[in-house]
Amino acid sequence: MQNAQRQGLVLIILALVIIYIHFNRYYFDGNSFDLGFWGIFVAVMTIINSTNVFSALLHSNSGIHYYMTPASIGEKYLAAWLYSSLFTIAIYSLTIYFVNLASISIGNAITGQEHSFVISIDTLKEGFLDLMFVQSLFFLGAVIFKKNPLGKTLLTIICCVFIIGLISAFIIRWYLMGNEAFSNLSDTTNYNLSIRVNSLDELNLPENFGNLKEVLKVIVFCIPFVCWIAAYFRLKKREI
Amino acid sequence: MNFAYSKKKKIFEDLSLNIEGGHIYGLLGKNGAGKTTLLKLMTGLRFPQSGSSTVFGIDTQKRSVKVLEEIYFLPEEIWLPDVRVDGYLKMYANSYPNFDHKLFKRCLTEFEINPEDKMKKMSFGQRKKVAISFALSTQCKILIMDEPTNGLDIPSKGQFRKLAAEVISDDRCIILSTHQVRDLESLIDTVIILDESRILLNNTIEQICEKLLFKTLMTLEGQNDVIYSEFTPMGFLAVTPNMNGMDSKIDLEVLFNMTTQNPNLIKQMFNH
């Protein structure tokens, strides 16, 4: 099956599932539409499309065809980037949005019930940035790994998260131990505090800890750009 | 250029090769001699450790559009998308500025391929015919084909030779890497023999026949000038120096075996 047909089929199934959810809601008081779940669905489709966008590079013969097609690396990269990011996010998000809107409009008109479908701009913006973050990681993985890019990228992310988490835990523990306010506490109390590190705002931490948080935010914001630039150079220098 | 997959496994050392228009090159070598690697290095699909490969003065490592429009590389195992033949044409023909649609149609007719057929449903040989037809029709200045006759039926091999001979011109060359020397013997006009990370021979058929005489002998007794011979049920396929400028039909298989077994002699005779 060609990619366009495959994407079309997924979109049709997606639309049917949304219609069914609304039908269930209007006539059988079923669960309402969960935006978080659909966000995860778009994220999964973004991961799949980002991983498959360089599937030609998985095999020598299709790789030769890909690289020998007369187009610059920049054009090839841009096509892959647009397809796996904006195009994927747009077609799935718009389908979800418009099918929801149509289902609710028709449902309200037929049943006389008054349901609404509102998504705030902030939620959309946040969701979009999260999706682009995820896309950048799997996009880079697709160019780097020659076999099983999805599995290897996932494994790399898990390893990185584990290592970063471990280092962060050590730094925070070390910092808290060194802080006068906490130095007199027993080990058990320290352990309990370390569990609560995700709610750092609740702790009365010195100013430089807040700076660290800002630095981390900037680093997280930069990660997609680093991944995209790295993917470009990897594509440029990859050998078949 | 120098190229190695690892420190222990050197493929090419100080390799130098110049390819010119108006020729059909036959690239011959044993399995693992580096024929496909050389083709990949030439097209910028692989990067040498030192040195470079240039086409019209542009380094192929840059993978520039200008170079890609003038090189077509047909690998041994072809890849084609799951579309109809005419769909493939629509997708890719525009990428080649000199693409000859009439020639493509004619090639398909010669190979008995229906342009409305889906490539997914075709046999390997049929898909290869589509790929060959497309490659010839691109009108690229450099056409590289790795084992083009693999998978082709007997009549198609003849049709391929005919079509390939038609597209050659003074500013265009074809490089054929093959083990099937008998299939392409009548097509090749320059022979390049690769062995143990170097080029043993790079000469035109004319130059080879000027210096070597290929003949069949019933016995080797009294034939003191034979420099190489192979026994066959039909007699001895022998090679002697061509002292009197006589004409003979080159036997590429014999030439290849002779070259790989006597590289120094060949080096001496052809000044490589």
Q: What residues of chain B lie within 8 A of the CB of A73, using their CB?
A: 63
Tell me how close the Cα of B45 comes to any Cα of chain A, in angstroms. Answer: 5
Is B38 a residue whose pLDDT tops 80? yes
Q: Average model confidence (pLDDT) for chain A?
A: 84
Looking at chain B, the whole-number percentage of residues with pLDDT higher than 70 is 99
Q: pLDDT category, A197, cuts 50, 70, 90? A: very low
Pairwise CA distance, residues B152 & B72, whole Å: 20
ipTM reported for the complex surpasses 0.85: yes
Q: Does B236 touch chain A (CB under 8 A)?
A: no
Arithmetic mean of pLDDT, A51-58: 89
- Residue A32 identity: S
Task: Give the pLDDT of residue A184.
Answer: 56
| CA proximity to A64, closest of B207, B192, B40 | B40
Q: What is the rounded average pLDDT of the residues A217-236?
A: 94
Number of CB atoms found within 10 A of residue B245's CB: 8
Q: Which of B47, B71, B79 sits opposite A65 (nearest CB)?
A: B79
Task: Tell me which of A203 and B15 has the higher pLDDT.
Answer: B15
> Among B68, B81, B82, whose Cβ lies nearest the Cβ of A68?
B68
Q: Which residues of A touch B (CB under 8 A)?
A: 1-2, 56, 59-65, 67-73, 236-237, 239-240
Contacts of A72 in chain B (CB under 8 A): 63-65
C-alpha A195/C-alpha A193 separation (Å) is 5
**Average pLDDT of the segment spanning B130-152:** 94
- Does B81 lie at the interface with A, CB-CB under 8 angstroms? yes
CB < 8 Å to A62, chain B: 79
* H helix or E strand, kind and range, residue A104: helix A88-111
User: Would you call B46 and A240 a contact, using CB atoms and an 8 Å cutoff?
Assistant: yes
Q: Which residues 53-72 in chain B show a CB within 8 A of chain A?
A: 63-65, 68-69, 71-72
If you measure CA to CA, which chain A residue comes closest to B62? Answer: A236
Q: Which residue of B has its CA nearest to A71?
A: B65
**Among A65, A76, A77, which would you mutate to test the B interface (most chain B Cβ atoms within 10 Å of its Cβ)?**
A65
Span A221-239, mean pLDDT?
95
A137/chain B closest Cα distance in angstroms: 25
pTM (predicted TM-score)? 0.83
Angle between helices B263-270 and B252-261 (to 10 degrees): 110
B146 to chain A: nearest residue by CA?
A61
Mean pLDDT of A116-129: 85
Query: What chain A residue is nearest to B48 in terms of C-alpha separation?
Result: A239
Local confidence band at B189 (pLDDT 50, 70, 90 cut-offs): very high
Say whether residue B131 is in contact with chain A using an 8 A CB cutoff.
Answer: no
Of the candidates A1, A2, A67, the beta carbon closest to that of B45 is on A67
CB B116 within 8 A of CB B84: yes
Distance CA(B143)–CA(B176), nearest Å, equals: 8
**Residues paired with B176 in a beta bridge:** B26, B145
Quick one: pLDDT at residue B234?
84
A52 CB neighbours in chain B (<8 A) are none
**B71-109 pLDDT tens trace:** 999 999 999 988 999 999 999 999 999 999 999 999 999
At residue A138, the 3 state secondary structure works out as: helix
Give the model's confidence band at A195: pLDDT under 50 very low, under 70 low, under 90 confident, else very high.
very low
Give residue A182's pLDDT. 55
E-assigned strands of B5-116? Answer: 10-12, 24-29, 54-55, 58-59, 71-74
Contact B235, B270 (CB under 8 A): no
